[in-house]
Amino acid sequence: MPENFPTNIGADTAISVGTLSGTLVADTNSGDGDAEGEGHGGGCHHSSAGTSLEASLTDTDTTSTATGTATYKVDSETGDTTFSVSVTGAAASSTLDVAIDDTVIGQLTTDETGAGSLVLSSNPTDTEQALPLDFPTNLSPGSTVIVGTLTGTLASTITGTSTASFAGLHAGRRR
């Protein structure tokens, strides 16, 4: 993006491209088509995630080279929740408890190099596991993630939710 790109774009922002001009409108649709399943005339539609938190994990043992990451996401449209954690440099071929704010939510098994991962989901597919019944429902920035001796604090990776639609951009001559 250019340095002078506006940072306050939203509904009612005027836009022009060559001889075309229009105004951005807030998307009040719950989907991308009308009742007959047909699309609405015009351009792109984007909706961001409802919640996205991330933590870098470091080892309390200062001589260790183990590190990791944890992410927590809730999709604003579907409500699907995903929590994932991955580590490298941990003890080889070991089983580590994974906890959030002192509640153990699963276990991660490392390979012969000390790498491992765990993915929990409210809608699991492939190698994902189902969220346990005692999975915390109040995760927020500041929640602590613990994997064996690795710890980290969740922080927000998205400043908010937004929806933008370019369907309101209509062709017309500027006067």
pLDDT tens digit sequence for 114-167: 999 999 999 999 999 999 999 998 888 999 999 999 999 999 875 444 444 334
Residue 47 φ/ψ, nearest 5 degrees: -135, 135
Name the percent of the chain lying above pLDDT 90.
Answer: 49
Q: Is 59 helix (H, G, I), strand (E, B) or coil?
A: strand
Residues 64 and 114 in one domain: yes
Residues 148 and 169 in one domain: no
Residue 120: per-residue pLDDT: 96
Comparing 74 with 157, the larger pLDDT belongs to 74
Residues 37 and 119 in one domain: no
Domain membership of residue 91 as a residue range: 51-156
Residues 76 and 151 in one domain: yes
Comparing 82 with 6, the larger pLDDT belongs to 82
Residues 66 and 150 in one domain: yes
Residues 65 and 120 in one domain: yes
Residues 105 and 169 in one domain: no
Residues 59 and 40 in one domain: no
Which residues fall within 8 angstroms of residue 6, CB to CB, at 6 or more apart?
13
Confidence of residue 113 (pLDDT cuts 50, 70, 90): very high
Q: What whole-number distance in Å separates Cα of residue 70 and Cα of residue 60? A: 16
Domain count, the chain: 2
Residues 67 and 3 in one domain: no
Largest CA distance in the chain: 70
Comparing 171 with 22, the larger pLDDT belongs to 22
Q: What whole-number distance in Å separates Cα of residue 114 and Cα of residue 136? A: 27
Are 25 and 9 in contact, with CB atoms under 8 Å apart?
no
